[in-house]
Structure 1
């Protein structure tokens, strides 16, 4: 698959993640107002993210910045995807589980 197709697929996945993150963060805000949010970060450093947040959107922003790096330096894409894809998958899976469990 040429780099442009990979980038387009990653952009589509990231857009999906962003929309889900907005909804999930709104739900987290509701839960926080009700006194149920008692954690500092969603993901630990061992999961590959450098961001530390109790909301999903900052993690999406981190992945968007990484993708921008792929666009700027396509030769780094192959190595970068090794860590990017698992993080994107983890983010999407975690948001899906959160949305399913918080209804």
Structure 2
């Protein structure tokens, strides 16, 4: 698959992650007000993110910056894709699990 098609699919997934992050962060704010949020970060450093936050949007922003960097240098894109896709999948799965459990 050409890089342009891969890039477009990843951008669409990133947009989905952004919309879900807004909803998830709103729910986290509600839970924090009720005294239920007692964690410092959503992901550990071992999971590949450099961001450390108790909200989802900063992780989406990290992925958006990585996407921008990957599209600027197509020579290293293939190498960067594996880690990027893994982190994006982890983010989307975690938000889905949070949404299911936060009902």
Distance 2:74 2:97 in 1: 33
Distance 1:19 1:83 in 2: 22
Gaps of 5+ in 2: none
- Give the paired residue count: 103
Q: CA deviation at 1:56?
A: 0.2
Q: Which residue of 2 aligns with 1:59?
A: 59
RMSD of aligned alpha carbons: 0.4
- Three-state SS of the structure 2 residue aligned to 1:36 is coil
User: TM-score under structure 1 normalisation?
Assistant: 0.99
Q: Which residue of 1 aligns with 2:4?
A: 4
User: TM-score under structure 2 normalisation?
Assistant: 0.99
Q: CA deviation at 1:83?
A: 0.6
- Three-state SS of the structure 2 residue aligned to 1:52 is coil
Q: Which residue of 2 aligns with 1:26?
A: 26
Matched, 1:48 2:58: no
Q: Which runs of 4+ in 1 moved over 3 A?
A: none
- What's the CA shift string for 1:45-66, capped at 9, x where partnerless? 0000000000000000000000
Distance 1:69 1:78 in 2: 12
- Three-state SS of the structure 1 residue aligned to 2:52 is coil
Q: CA deviation at 1:71?
A: 1.0
Higher mean C-alpha displacement, 25-34 vs 67-76: 67-76
